[in-house]
Structure 1
């Protein structure tokens, strides 16, 4: 079993996170001073915006573990499992072009959820993305701190499992 740290946020993600967190933290308090006062709306916005921060933070992968047969992505909500024998290909992605967020978090602490229709992302640094394509066609995008070591470890485990 080998553990990999999730990549630190890249500059764009860090900037977006700081701006969004400041807005989400400060706007509910500022809304209490609007005229005419709408206390219920201010409290509701406080709960919603703080909830967005907490829920988004929960999706951040804390670590990625490669066991003999699986990749485990651990976040506050549990473990996501990818079986090594289901992996068709693994590649490092340099391109940071346009990606369509279908359902998920797009910039607050990273990029988590469904992108480009069916791709599942757990990315904190868009410059250190690893694309894992399964035999079923499902695609996972991860961002370990050392993408090359991560990719090599998976290749080693896959080749030793088939031998």
Structure 2
């Protein structure tokens, strides 16, 4: 069993995270500009913002574990399992293409959820992306700290 750390956030993701957090922190102050003052809107928006930030932070993959038969991607909510024997291909994604978020987090602490239709992303660094395609056509995109070592380990286990 081998454990890999998730890559640290790249510069673009850090900047995007700071901008979103600043915006979210200022949003509950907006109702104070309205006349008449409405504290309920301010408190409700603050609660929603806290839920969004905590949920997004909890989706950050803490570690990636590979054993002889499965890849586990662990975050605070649970784990995603990828059976090694079902892997069709694994490759490094070097290009930063335009991606469409289907359902998930798109920039706050990283990119987590469904992108480009059915791709499952657990990415914290867009410069260290690894794409795993299964025989069924399902795609997982991860960002381990050492992508080449991670890919080599998987390829060795597949042989």
* TM-score, length of structure 1 as denominator length: 0.94
Task: Say which SS state the counterpart of residue 112 (structure 1) adopts.
Answer: strand
What is the aligned partner in structure 1 of residue 100 from structure 2? 100
Equivalent residue of 2:122, what SS? strand
Alignment: residue pair count: 158
Give the structure 2 partner of residue 3 of structure 1: 3
Name the counterpart of 1:136: 136
1:91 paired to 2:87: no
Alignment match, 2:153: 153
| Ranges of 4+ aligned residues in structure 1 off by more than 6 Å | none
Task: List per-residue Cα deviations over 1:51-109 (Å, max 9, x = no partner).
Answer: 11001111100000001110000000001100000100000000101001111100000
1:32 CA drift (Å): 5.1
Q: Where do residues 1-163 of structure 1 align in structure 2 (5 Å cutoff)? A: 1-28=1-28, 30-31=29-30, 33-36=32-35, 37-159=37-159
TM-score of the two chains, using structure 2 as the length reference: 0.96
Unaligned runs of 5+ in 1: none
Q: Distance in 1 between matches of 2:144 and 2:127?
A: 10
- 2:32–2:38 Cα contact (<8 Å) kept: no
Segments of 5+ residues of structure 2 without an aligned counterpart are none
Q: CA RMSD in A?
A: 0.9
* Alpha carbons 2:90, 2:132 under 8 Å: kept: yes
